[in-house]
Amino acid sequence: MNKLIILLLMVLDCAIGATGAFFFKKASSKIKLKLSIKNIIDSIKNRNLIIGIIFYASGAALLTYVLKLGDLSFVYPLTSLTYIFTIILSVKLLKEKMNKYKWFAVILIIAGNIFITM
């Protein structure tokens, strides 16, 4: 399969996975760690948790499909792009702060992915 198609599918997969993590983060503020029937039911009713699970499951299904198309040694390292999408969502939607070390790490991830796709 064409490497460009695999790369584009992996970019989509990583965006889906990062979106799932974003919704898990939003859900986490309403999840109580004390184990009780009420807390379990409240967690099951947590809309953000359900949305996060749907995104994560969709991402896992897409990743499984892409792994069928390409070599594991090419496809799986591209999952590191999820970190970049996660950072973008964290900064834009959760107003989290970035520092120079995090930006340097983003540059390294991008560079590593460029080398993987060569």
pLDDT on residue 34: 67
- Mean pLDDT within 80-108: 94
46 against 17, higher pLDDT: 17
pTM (two decimals): 0.85
Read off the pLDDT of residues 54-73 as tens digits, 9 standing for 90 and up: 999 999 999 999 999 999 99
* Cβ-contact 18, 80 below 8 angstroms: no
Q: What pLDDT sits at residue 32? A: 66
Range of the domain at 71: 3-117
d(CA 7, CA 29): 34
Q: What is the secondary structure of 48-115 as a DSSP string?
A: HHHHHHHHHHHHHHHHHHHHHHS-HHHHGGGGGHHHHHHHHHHHHHS-----HHHHHHHHHHHHHHHH
- How is residue 43 annotated by DSSP? H
Span 27-40, pLDDT tens digits: 988 776 766 777 76
Q: How many domains does the chain have?
A: 1
